[in-house]
Amino acid sequence: MTNCTRVPEFILQGFSVIPEVQTFSVAIFLFIYMFSLLGNVSIIIAVTLDSHLHTPMYFFLKHLSFIDFCSTSTTLPRVLFAALAGSGVISLPACAAQLFVFMLCAATECFLLTSMAYDRYLAIYQPLTYGATMTQEFCCALVGVAWVNGLLFSSFHTANIFTLSFCDPTVEHFFCDIPPLLRLSCTDPHKHETAGFIVSGCVIMSCFILTVLSYIRIITTVAHMKSTQGRQKAFSTCSSHLITVVLFYGTGSSAYMRPANGYSSLQGRLAAIFYSILTPTLNPIIYSMRNKDMKAALRKLYICGP
């Protein structure tokens, strides 16, 4: 361990080490990436152009779509190009940049989902003061706080990982992520792993608890509504966000809230496919299926044109 040489670059294994599976995966994930881009960009354009969607809920949704667009564009194009070119080599600075941007998007989404839960809480629990509270300035402040916290979170994790020394260049993953990089350290990564676990745990658990508390209050309020139509509308509005929260926290926590010695490359890749690819791709579908206003805006965008 004392005679290790710092590697100048990494080799990403991609989705699989089996060539046939790799080729099949490229075709599938290329389609998923194009679908993700189409869905998220469509929501951004629709919310921007349709004046009926200029409300706090759709303001947050537009930023969520932008984050999902950036997240998938950080990981998928690189791995697809590497698979087609037959080389998964990535330089150390490029790997650090990829980790930084991905962590920035993931942490920002974590805080943004909490803001979206708070928005729904105010809309349902305090409808009379909702308009006065959720002003444009306050919404922009919430989004700004989410990005700043995401920046701090990402900066910490990137510095925490890349102050280690790496002796093995082979990353058993399809992008530069924290768990597989920790396994490549030729120095004891225990302190780095513990620090990362504490920071991630505080961020994930605090955001998750605030989101859960908001939804407990929402469900309690909706259950006491006398109007059946009002209950259905409230549940329809909130169910989309709740599905996104479950997918995001369920898959993300399985990767970042477990010790590195319990990490499995296969399980890690499967979990990463969900939280880095499938969840950002499914979000436009989830928010469009049960939302009449969004359906109408998208129909107007593609049938009538902007």
What number of CA atoms fall less than 13 Å from residue 35's CA on the CB side? Answer: 15
Given a cut of 90, whether residue 186 has pLDDT beyond it is: no
pLDDT recorded at residue 20 = 59
pLDDT number for residue 29: 87
CB atoms near residue 193 (< 10 Å): 20
Sheet with strand 9-12: strands edge to edge: 89-91, 9-12, 170-171
* 235 vs 272, higher pLDDT: 272
Q: What is the pLDDT of residue 278?
A: 86
Q: What is the mean pLDDT of residues 27-39?
A: 90
* CATH label, 9-304, candidates 1.20.1070.10, 3.40.190.10, 1.10.3470.10, 1.10.132.50: 1.20.1070.10
pLDDT band of 279, cuts 50, 70, 90: confident
Q: What average pLDDT does this structure show over 159-182?
A: 88
Confidence (pLDDT) at 294: 84
The rounded mean pLDDT for the chain is 85
Residue-level pLDDT at 127: 85
Question: pLDDT band for position 1 (50/70/90)?
Answer: very low
Domain ranges of the chain: 9-304
pLDDT of residue 60: 94
pLDDT of residue 9: 86
User: Between residues 157 and 304, which one has the greater pLDDT?
Assistant: 157
Is residue 3 predicted with pLDDT exceeding 60? no
Average pLDDT over residues 260-288: 80
pLDDT tens digits, residue range 194-228?
898 899 889 988 998 999 898 888 888 887 777 77
The model's pLDDT over 75-113, given as tens digits with 9 standing for 90+, comes to 998 888 887 777 788 999 999 999 999 999 999 999 999
Mean pLDDT of 240-245: 80
Q: At what angle do helices 92-125 and 136-162 cross, to 10 degrees?
A: 150
Task: Examine the pLDDT at 4 and tell me if it is beyond 60.
Answer: no
Non-local CB neighbours of 115 within 8 Å, separated by 6+ positions: 60, 142, 143, 146
Place of tokens 């768990």: 179
Which residue, 218, 34, 26, 14, is CA-closest to 126?
218
Position with higher pLDDT, 269 vs 66: 66
Enter the pTM of the model. 0.88
pLDDT digits (tens, 9 = 90+) for 65-77: 999 999 999 999 8
The encoded tokens of residue 74 equal: 């950080």
Task: Please give the structure tokens belonging to residue 269.
Answer: 């890749």
Q: Is 91 helix (H, G, I), strand (E, B) or coil?
A: strand
Per-residue pLDDT at 250: 79
Query: In the chain, what is the straight-line distance between the N-terminal and C-terminal CA atoms, in Å?
Result: 61
- Name the band, by pLDDT with cuts 50, 70 and 90, for residue 2: very low
